[in-house]
């Protein structure tokens, strides 16, 4: 598949094609009136990764076309990236070009931006980093007003801090999120706000309690928690759990119990098949008839978690893979039906389409 082109004039047709495919894919399950949440056609990505291509003493950002993987495509800018990333790219490149310690054997540059204006850059090298690198890196980071991390094999040097603090308004609340370098965060900040808004709209009026699996850094947890009496959220990634704990405190959320465990482990616990020390202080009974929220990896829900989902009257399901979502919906057809659907175009100009479903008991 060749590299995509980024022409805003083509975007409406491309999005319409993806929406039509989704509706056709889920037509057997009665999907209708799908809410479509478009992206801005340019400057939507809050994360970007570029190879660094060296030619003598010069260097440039580069990408590679899968159809011709040995030929670099050098870049002056990258239209899908956030405007702050595009503005930083030439300034950072010029600084790197002018400093041997920063330039030598630099392999890759990763950018993490926020809607709130913070920026973290990770520079990845094929050599060990020394004091000269750190001195130059601290000077450059201060001049550019960015956070900076240097990485090489077995080595990580953090200049200032290894995370950014995202902040934006949602439904009259100002939300804040710690986003850690190397951990998953939603790539399209604007569409993420739309996803959070849709999820809150669906959950409004549910009341009761919420069980959330795969909570990550608390992206949905923070948004949804005021709509429920109590929330029990689980996540297996240690760095994401630490970020979620920070975010709960930063947003003054006090009705969430956060547990580091997999969805399979939680399924076994709720079904009474196994006991876990991590849950010793949590009464699971109030959560047996709660609303379930899931945002799983591309593989979707495994068989054990699907059986758990059957016990909930309402399931809010966000998916980054509509094929595994379709399989999961088919597996739940005897107990649940689709009550609402939405699509969120996190990745314009690609075939990917984020999906959202509200499933209710038949």
Active site residues per annotation: 320, 354
Task: Write the secondary structure of the chain as one string of H (helix), E (strand) and C (coil).
Answer: CCCCCCCHHHHHHHHHHHHHHHHHHHHHHCCCCCEEECCCCCCCECEEEEEEEEECCEEEEEEEECCEEEEEEEECCCCCECHHHHHHHHHHHHHHHCCHHHHCCEEEEEEEECCCCCEEEEEEECCCCCHHHHHHHHHHHHHHCCEEEEEECCEEEEECCCEEEEEEEECCEEEEEEEECCCCCCCEHHHHHHHHHHHHHHHCCCCCEEEEECCCCCHHHHHHHHHCCEEEEEECCHHHHHHHHHHHHHCCCCCEEEEECCHHHHHHHHCCCCCCHHHCCCCCHHHCCCEEEECCCCCCCCHHHHHHHCCCCEEEEEECCHHHHHHHHHHCCCCEEEEEEEEECCCCCCCCCEEEEEEEEC
Q: Can you name the residues that pair with 177 across neighbouring β-strands?
A: 166
Give long-range contacts, CB 8 A cutoff, 24+ apart: 79-83. Answer: 79/6, 79/42, 79/43, 80/6, 80/42, 80/43, 80/44, 80/45, 80/48, 80/348, 80/349, 81/43, 81/45, 81/48, 81/111, 81/113, 82/43, 82/44, 82/45, 82/46, 82/113, 82/189, 83/43
């Amino acid at each position: 598949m060749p590299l995509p082109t980024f022409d805003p004039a083509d975007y409406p047709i491309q999005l319409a094609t993806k929406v039509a495919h989704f509706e056709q894919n889920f037509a057997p399950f009665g999907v209708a009136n799908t809410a479509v949440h478009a992206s801005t056609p340019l400057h939507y990505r809050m994360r970007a990764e570029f190879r660094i291509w060296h030619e003598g003493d010069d260097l440039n950002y580069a990408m590679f076309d899968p159809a011709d993987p040995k030929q670099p495509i050098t870049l002056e800018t990258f239209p899908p990236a956030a405007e702050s990333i595009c503005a930083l790219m030439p300034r950072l490149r010029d600084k790197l070009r002018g400093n041997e310690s920063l330039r030598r054997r630099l392999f890759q540059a990763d950018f993490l931006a926020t809607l709130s204006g913070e920026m973290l850059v990770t520079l990845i090298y094929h050599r060990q980093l020394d004091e000269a690198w750190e001195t130059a890196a601290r000077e450059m980071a201060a001049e550019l007003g960015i956070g900076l991390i240097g990485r090489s094999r077995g080595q990580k040097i953090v200049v200032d801090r290894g995370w950014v603090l995202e902040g934006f308004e949602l439904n009259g609340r100002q939300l804040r999120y710690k986003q850690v370098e190397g951990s998953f965060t939603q790539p399209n900040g604007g569409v993420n706000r739309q996803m959070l808004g849709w999820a809150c709209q669906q959950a409004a009026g549910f009341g009761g309690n919420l069980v959330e699996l795969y909570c990550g850094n608390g992206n949905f947890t923070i948004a949804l928690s005021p709509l429920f009496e109590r929330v029990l959220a689980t996540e297996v990634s240690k760095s994401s759990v630490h970020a979620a704990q920070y975010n709960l405190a930063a947003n003054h959320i006090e009705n969430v119990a956060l547990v580091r465990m997999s969805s399979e482990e939680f399924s076994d616990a709720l079904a009474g098949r196994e006991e876990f020390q991590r849950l010793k202080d949590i009464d699971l009974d109030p959560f047996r008839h709660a609303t379930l929220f899931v945002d799983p990896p591309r593989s979707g829900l495994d068989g054990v978690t699907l059986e758990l989902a059957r016990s909930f009257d309402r399931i809010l399901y966000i998916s980054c893979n509509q094929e595994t979502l379709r399989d999961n919906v088919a597996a739940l057809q005897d107990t649940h039906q689709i009550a609402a659907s939405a699509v969120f175009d996190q990745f314009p100009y690609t075939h990917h389409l984020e999906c959202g479903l509200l499933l209710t008991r038949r």
